[in-house]
Amino acid sequence: MIEINNVSKWYGKFQVLTDCTTNVAKGDVVVVCGPSGSGKSTLIKTVNALEPIQQGDIVVDGIKVNDPKTNLPKLRSRVGMVFQHFELFPHLSITENLALAQRKVLGRPRDEAEATGLKLLERVGLKAHAHKFPGQLSGGQQQRVAIARALAMNPIAMLFDEPTSALDPEMISEVLDIMVQLAHEGMTMMVVTHEMGFARKVANRVIFMDEGHIVEDAGKEEFFSTERCARAQQFLSKIL
Ligand code: ADP
Ligand code: MG
């Protein structure tokens, strides 16, 4: 579903990604971890072309992402992305937040977009909040709205970039629960997170990044049970 082949990327003269290669099969949940600044956000942003790459290839569902002829808005609409800071539109109601991209990108009529939004809002347990504005919801609730908004586009895969790291501790599980449910339903997911409980529960593979390199890419059992490289070991000992 997602192929990342020998990808290198520079911000100016700074090489942020060096020869990164990994694949995510349909239905796989791949957790990406590693120290701050190791290139995790950059890597997953390259998957839906929010960041361009200078070397290598990225193919999503058979579509070459780094091809100038690729219709990027269409690609992005099929690959949902959820960020650390929910990035809801503060001046729009929850209903309008959910309907906007469906109407603008998919061309769905307003009533259909709102009905789809409401259904997904119900799924994340927030139907009663449809008329509110983002500022009236807690961080955990806003993040669940952001997930519902991404799902409303019928994505073929979902990318998460530290979706719980800006949340108060008591709100983390309400967001992780939704993500676990999605994983169990077979959604293809790439998740940057340090929530190793989540990784243990649903990940197929765990990637460890350091200084722009993918230094570990292992099955979950292998990642947690066997000796990792010294750098990964040191990192894990700090967060576990
Ligand atoms: P992570 O998500 O693992 O913390 P990032 O992908 O955000 O890492 O960043 C990797 C490195 O690239 C960091 O050193 C960061 O400062 C740098 N970086 C990130 N975004 C930019 C940018 N837009 N321009 C220049 N440097 C950047
Ligand atoms: Mg990051």
Q: Cβ of 20: how many Cβ atoms within 10 Å? A: 25
Among 14, 16, 31, 207, name the best residue to mutate to test ligand 1's pocket (greatest count of ligand atoms within 8 A of Cβ).
Answer: 16
Among 10, 11, 235, name the best residue to mutate to test ligand 1's pocket (greatest count of ligand atoms within 8 A of Cβ).
Answer: 11
- State pLDDT tens for residues 55-75: 999 999 999 999 999 998 888
Per DSSP, 232 falls in state H
pLDDT computed for residue 192 by the predictor: 98
* Pairing, β 55-60 against β 63-64: antiparallel
- C-alpha 22 to ligand 1 mean position (Å): 20
- State pLDDT tens for residues 171-180: 999 999 999 9
Kindly state the average pLDDT of the residues 20-45: 97
Q: pLDDT tier at 33 (50, 70, 90 boundaries)?
A: very high
The closest alpha carbon to 61, from 48, 45, 46, 43, belongs to: 48
- C-alpha 213 to ligand 1 mean position (Å): 13
Count of helices and strands (H, E) across the chain: 9, 10
Q: Which atom of ligand 1 is nearest to the CA of 34?
A: 3
What is the average pLDDT score of the chain? Answer: 94
pLDDT computed for residue 235 by the predictor: 85
- C-alpha 207 to ligand 2 mean position (Å): 14
- C-alpha 94 to ligand 1 mean position (Å): 31
The closest alpha carbon to 47, from 63, 35, 31, belongs to: 63
Q: pLDDT tier at 12 (50, 70, 90 boundaries)?
A: very high
- C-alpha 222 to ligand 2 mean position (Å): 25
- State pLDDT tens for residues 118-156: 999 999 999 999 999 999 999 999 999 999 999 999 999
Q: Which amino acid is at 207?
A: I
Q: pLDDT tier at 102 (50, 70, 90 boundaries)?
A: very high
Protein residues with CB under 6 Å of any ligand 1 atom: 11, 14, 16, 34, 36-42
Residue 85 dihedral angles phi and psi, to the nearest 5°: -100, 120
Hey, whose CA ends up nearest to atom 21 of ligand 1?
A: 11
Closest ligand to residue 166's CA: 2
Q: Is the pLDDT of residue 52 over 90?
A: yes
Q: pLDDT tier at 100 (50, 70, 90 boundaries)?
A: very high
pLDDT computed for residue 226 by the predictor: 75
Q: Is the pLDDT of residue 240 over 80?
A: no
Kindly state the average pLDDT of the residues 3-7: 98
Q: pLDDT tier at 196 (50, 70, 90 boundaries)?
A: very high
pLDDT computed for residue 152 by the predictor: 96
Q: Which atom of ligand 1 is nearest to the CA of 42?
A: 6
Closest ligand to residue 46's CA: 1
Between helix 139-151 and helix 169-184 the angle, nearest 10°, is 20
Q: How many residues does the chain have?
A: 240
Give this prediction's pTM. Answer: 0.95
- C-alpha 40 to ligand 1 mean position (Å): 8
